[in-house]
Structures are given as structure tokens and as C-alpha cells.
Amino acid sequence: MYLRAFKEQLLSGPVEARPHDGEYISRFERWDALASVRRRPRRDFEGKDPGHFFFPPELYPVVLHPMVASRGEGVVRGLLLQRLYDYLDFTTELENLAVIPVATKISRGRSGLNLPEHMRADAHKIVTDEAWHAQFSDDFARQIATSTGSARLGAENSAGPSFVTRLDELRDQLPHALRGVESLLFGIVSETLISGILSDIPRDDRLPSAVRELVRDHAEDEGRHHVYFRSVLRHLWPALTPSERRDVGPLVPGAIHAFLEPDYDRAAYHLGGIGLSRDEIDQVISESWPAHQVRHDISAAASQLTRYFAEVGALDDVRTRDSFAQAGLVGTVRESEQTGCTPREVTA
């Protein structure tokens, strides 16, 4: 078992046979001076500005729905506290289940890609960053529970954040020989998108200052990770055979949605906790997150990442382009024909 784990690559097959260009510019040269694990203190929740909300209500629109808001400010604040707990738990699980394993494989030369030595060395720094993010998120949740006296609800029965099951579904769609690539793909997707998710919270002065500081610490590290995983994509795509690209490409929108789509199950659980019936929960969720709005928001959040995929030529494959179009991430093939633009121009 351990020997198998040692040898297992994320992308199987002989590494030497994979094309590579060797180009990589490190953003980790000053890691010792910049990384939050080196230069930021443990963030203390207690004794700081308590803030008005625990989480921005606009990022958790169920609390703005009349059937929820009418139950009073105490209920809304309680739901936003639970949303903060879910966010912290999501962060810890994302680092532990998705990012650390991928960065570890890269660091030990078992990604299956022919990566520059310096890039492998930098992956060690990402592992350390992410372990710190997981630790401080878990630690912070414990501090909040002690300080507020309100524990996180439903953790013992939770199936985990929704990206976990969505990622399993994605893996099942890959041919057996390519299983493992979804983890590289999800690493690229989550690490290039998370910096956007974290960008607004540090500026929201309705939130406790310690929450904003914690998220700012995370966001600063993720800026470097974003650049790194864009580089992973630039190495991954040319290294895949045309047949592998045709298998992997159409699954990219699924990975993007796995990461960005709201966690409806957790929201439903919390709405049940404030006394809503099953029908009321369904109504609040569908009206708070209308499908067309979710699709639009994901498309906007992923526009830069979509451009990265276009730049490496992923959208040159018809099935991949169709999959992006069906997910609303790019215009349809017909639209690009009408405008006379190539798919790369449409997305750029």
C-alpha cells in the first residue's frame, strides 16, 4: 500500500514522454519574508471589534429573503455565524483534501508532469502555507465557539462541504487511466479562483476585525498560489495527449461549478434549524439563488480562469468549447461564428 502510494502519479504514464517547455518564474523568492505562516500572528477573535455581521449577507442571500429576514435580526445574525463556521470548515477541508495532496505530489516529483526543479521546490512552500491556513481556520472556529457560546451546528451529520461529493462525481466521469487528473484540475481551478472569493471580505467593515485580518492573511498567500497554479495549467495542457485533452477538457466547467456553486445542502440544514418546513426551505433557496443568477455569477467569477484555459488552447476542442458554452462560461459556437471571432477572442 505505501509503495503504491509512493509511486502513484496524479497523471499516469512515463513522465519523460510528456512534452515540457521548462518555463517557470517563481513568485516564492521572498516567501520567508512574505508568507503569513512566517510573518502574521495568530488571530485572536476575542476582545476585538465584534462587528455587526459575522459574514457579508450579500454572499449568503438566504438571510435577505423575506421569509428569513422577517424572523428578526437575531435569526439573521445566527445564520451568518453558521455561514462563517461553514466557510472556515470549507477552508480547512479544501486545504486538507484538495490542495495539500496535489502540492505534495508536485513537490515530490509525482504529479506525472515534467516540471522545473524550482517549481517542485516551491510546491513545498504551498504545502506549508495551506497547512497553516487549515490550522488557523480550525483554531479560529474554536475561538468563536468559545467566545459566542454558539457552536457550529450539524457538523457531526455533515457529509462535508459540497465540493467533496461534486469532485467524486467528476472523477467518476474520467476514463480509469486518467483518474487522478481531476485533482490537478481542481487544484488549478480552486487555487486560481479562491483569491477572488477572498478579496472582498477584508474590506467589509461590518465584519469583526479579526475575521477580516484572518481572511486578509489567507488572501495574501493565495495571490502567490494563483500565479503558481496558472503555471501548472500551462504545463499540464501541452503535456496531455490530444485524446487526453478531449477527455479532460469537457469536465473543466464541472470543476469550476464544483468549487463556486453555493452549498445548498448546508443552507437547507440551517434553514431547517430556524423552523422552516421543507417546502419553505426549497422556496427560500430557489428564490435566493435563481439558477440563471448562479450561472451568471459563476461565469463572471471564472472569466479570468476561462481565459487561462483559452490561452492554453483548451477551447480549441469542440466538445470542450461546447461544455464551456453550456455552462455559460463562454458564448456558444454559433455566437462566435456570428461575430467572426475565434473562441479565444470570445473569451478573452
Residue 82's nearest CA partner among 147, 144, 19, 7 is 144
From 13-21, 224-232, 273-281, 320-328, span contacting Fe ion (CB under 5 A): 224-232
Note whether 225 binds Fe ion by CB under 5 A: yes
DSSP 266-302: HHHHHHHHTT--HHHHHHHHHHHS-HHHHHHHHHHHT
Report, in Å, the least distance between residue 31 CB and Fe ion.
13
Near Fe ion in 163-222, by CB under 5 A: 191, 222
Residue 103's nearest CA partner among 253, 237, 224 is 224
Note whether 125 binds Fe ion by CB under 5 A: no
Q: How far is the C-alpha of 198 from the C-alpha of 184, rounded, in Å?
A: 21
Report, in Å, the least distance between residue 290 CB and Fe ion.
30
Report, in Å, the least distance between residue 166 CB and Fe ion.
19
Q: How far is the C-alpha of 219 from the C-alpha of 197, rounded, in Å?
A: 9
Burial of 216-230, coded b for 16+ CB within 10 Å and e otherwise, reads bbbbbbbebbbbbbb
Report, in Å, the least distance between residue 126 CB and Fe ion.
6
DSSP-assigned letter for residue 143: H
Identity of the residue numbered 48: K
Note whether 77 binds Fe ion by CB under 5 A: no
264, 60 Cβ separation under 8 angstroms: no
Judged by CB under 5 A, the number of residues near Fe ion is: 5
Q: How far is the C-alpha of 55 from the C-alpha of 79, rounded, in Å?
A: 9
From 131-139, 236-244, 278-286, 296-304, span contacting Fe ion (CB under 5 A): 131-139
Note whether 224 binds Fe ion by CB under 5 A: no
Note whether 270 binds Fe ion by CB under 5 A: no
Q: Which is nearer to Fe ion, 137 or 306 (by Cβ)? A: 137
Note whether 133 binds Fe ion by CB under 5 A: yes
Report, in Å, the least distance between residue 227 CB and Fe ion.
11
- CB closest to Fe ion, residue no: 225
Report, in Å, the least distance between residue 218 CB and Fe ion.
6
From 64-72, 114-122, 133-141, 146-154, span contacting Fe ion (CB under 5 A): 133-141
Identity of the residue numbered 315: L
Q: Where does residue 280 fall: left (phi above 0), alpha (psi -120 to 50 degrees), or beta otherwise? A: alpha
Q: Which is nearer to Fe ion, 129 or 244 (by Cβ)? A: 129
195, 222 Cβ separation under 8 angstroms: yes
User: In this structure, how many other beta carbons lie within 10 angstroms of the beta carbon of residue 276?
Assistant: 21
Q: Which is nearer to Fe ion, 94 or 240 (by Cβ)? A: 94
Site for Fe ion, rule CB under 5 A: 130, 133, 191, 222, 225
